[in-house]
Structure 1
């Protein structure tokens, strides 16, 4: 009888403890879970989810906003579906970028938690309240903010939600330590070059987006580069060719990816061929007036994986750019090796392809 009462009490205490999972998300909302999530509708931050949730993470996903993964990062998607074939069979609930996100389809997956990026939650607007009405908690993360604080808060919130707080804390500590080392090196440098970043998706005949504040803009700011987009755009948008030439950037960053049906894009990321990336970058360098830019004349044009920002592994891309902006301060840093080690320690696949490169 005593054993039965003890067992019952332990069960009640465990249930009560799980009922006390209260999280403040990245939109300063209070999210309460009865227990760690086991049926997750995952909107974005796919690799971060797998890294933080650890073993069995893929089995806890019941639905996806598939477009931002399968369409934006098709080779990455291919790598993960080879490891976790069940991902390809999960319901696709659409995506907010194409205005196809269906809350009805999301609810039909019977999730006990919906995880959205801040930009997805913002795009849904008042319609996101339908999840509240259905009694399904929504956790908003924001690695896109590209700040140390938002990265750490997103990681810890995800760990709380998945019951993997120790793993999340280890990842947060790694990210904070690498960020601190990067900042120390940057602060020791006196260099402050002008930087231009462009999304190299459309090819050289059409100007792609640049970034200010968040994403690559946030990276450049934290590395103490002079981002020529600052004050010209809000968040993202194209800069005029005339403005870029007048600013004479000393470093040019072309952000590429695995986009489908983009024959002139700079291919970067999983499965990307370095020789082809060089050929596509050469086409950008051949734009009118670019031959006279300091970045082109001095061999300071770089390709980088667009999927390398807004994620826990982006510290390696920070350090690659740190090496580009402050070569002496980062002389002993090998960002490619650091990226490979991150995948070996935290993710179930290898980063095979071309993720960063200095153009010839």
Structure 2
């Protein structure tokens, strides 16, 4: 009764002062679920999309996080992680709830951290299945985002949902407008240039040239290739991600090859791209892929059309840069005035607490 009386008193005071009344925040998340919270979240369990969360929530964002899925940040992007820890030391002290991909995710640990909101990627939500109900039983609402789909619609919706639940609709709208404008500009240039007809092969360059890495048939890099107007050779061959047979790649005769690199540890033959990467080492490792049996005869290799892109850049609000980089490879004249490396630097300078120190796109020389 006392709580109700206090709430009524606050509402009456707000009315007397001409202040807006407190109102619930209701969103429809990326699984079509209606989620209502009483106010912007202050204690978040953050599963993924870390940089997007920081960009949208703005200064002080890390102070509103109480737990994270640390393996999918520190484990997947170790040098990026170090940059953020240096900028935000609190990050290194947050409880780790584990990883759904390795079946180490602990809902018990997540609940024990005392969040008032759990934010999950769609793939994490799907992996948890019925176990998500444990959050709800504990009174913790769950919001699902999906940048992995790599579509303009779902990127924009994820951004606006995140902005709403974090009380930052203006920042979210500004980021959505930036992403939409850059994407539509890319699409307009591609449409004006006409279909390239160029066949594109993308490979996760993590394991080294001796072993074939994943390619993408839908979502992630496949979505970016589609947007950029390329003909993805994995389309119809791979549902989401997985390796193509080496013989298939040779027979497909790709005109453009994209090697996605990152900051993987204990992967001495991988293509190193991202934070702390150098042009010289990236080129050296990319050259080992181009030297695979039969690759010297591929149009992409013969014509100098082998490129590297930062794997950590996909499924983020900055991935419009990689779409423009790939489109520039397909339509060099149409994108002659576009500088993707400068655009990624500008994005970090404007929206994130660290700078883009490293190599995020590379052209095999």
TM-score range, shorter chain: over 0.9
Q: Distance in 2 between matches of 1:6 and 1:247?
A: 68
TM-score (norm 1): 0.96
Q: Is 1:355 matched with 2:360?
A: yes
Query: Alpha carbons of 1:17 and 1:208: their partners in 2 closer, same or farther (altered >3 Å)?
Result: farther
Partner SS for 1:27: coil
Q: Distance in 2 between matches of 1:5 and 1:288?
A: 76
Q: Distance in 2 between matches of 1:6 and 1:98?
A: 47
Structure 1 match to 2:69: 65
Q: Is 1:227 matched with 2:227?
A: no
Query: Alpha carbons of 1:193 and 1:163: their partners in 2 closer, same or farther (altered >3 Å)?
Result: same
Q: Is 1:93 matched with 2:97?
A: yes
Q: Is 1:241 matched with 2:246?
A: yes
| Unmatched tracts of structure 2, length 5 or more | 1-7
Structure 2 match to 1:48: 52
Q: Is 1:136 matched with 2:143?
A: no
Partner SS for 2:193: coil
Q: Distance in 1 between matches of 2:157 and 2:21?
A: 22
Partner SS for 1:299: coil
Q: Distance in 1 between matches of 2:341 and 2:161?
A: 28
Q: Is 1:327 matched with 2:332?
A: yes
Using the TM superposition, give the Cα deviation of residue 189 of structure 1 relative to its aligned residue in structure 2, in angstroms: 1.4
Query: Retained in 2: the 8 A contact 1:18–1:33?
Result: no
Q: Distance in 1 between matches of 2:20 and 2:107?
A: 30
Structure 1 match to 2:192: 188
Query: Retained in 1: the 8 A contact 2:273–2:309?
Result: yes
Aligned length in residues: 357
Query: Retained in 2: the 8 A contact 1:18–1:36?
Result: no
Q: Distance in 2 between matches of 1:57 and 1:284?
A: 40
Q: Distance in 2 between matches of 1:110 and 1:278?
A: 46
Using the TM superposition, give the Cα deviation of residue 6 of structure 1 relative to its aligned residue in structure 2, in angstroms: 8.7
RMSD in angstroms over aligned alpha carbons?
Answer: 1.8
1:232-271 matched pairs, under 5 angstroms: 232-271=237-276
Using the TM superposition, give the Cα deviation of residue 221 of structure 1 relative to its aligned residue in structure 2, in angstroms: 0.9
Using the TM superposition, give the Cα deviation of residue 8 of structure 1 relative to its aligned residue in structure 2, in angstroms: 3.8
Query: Retained in 2: the 8 A contact 1:19–1:33?
Result: no
Structure 1 match to 2:3: none
Q: Deviations over 1:99-132 (max 9, x none)?
A: 1000000000000000000000000011111111
TM-score (norm 2): 0.95
Which stretch of the first structure deviates more once superposed, 34-43 or 11-20? 11-20
1:147-162 matched pairs, under 5 angstroms: 147-162=151-166
Q: Is 1:296 matched with 2:296?
A: no
Q: Deviations over 1:136-186 (max 9, x none)?
A: 000100000000000000000000000000110011011111111000001
Which stretch of the first structure deviates more once superposed, 93-102 or 183-192? 183-192
Q: Distance in 2 between matches of 1:5 and 1:251?
A: 66
Using the TM superposition, give the Cα deviation of residue 7 of structure 1 relative to its aligned residue in structure 2, in angstroms: 7.6
Query: Retained in 2: the 8 A contact 1:207–1:239?
Result: yes
Query: Alpha carbons of 1:10 and 1:18: their partners in 2 closer, same or farther (altered >3 Å)?
Result: closer
Within the candidate set 209, 213, 216, 2:218 is matched to 213
Partner SS for 1:146: coil
Q: Distance in 2 between matches of 1:14 and 1:185?
A: 49
Q: Distance in 1 between matches of 2:360 and 2:142?
A: 32
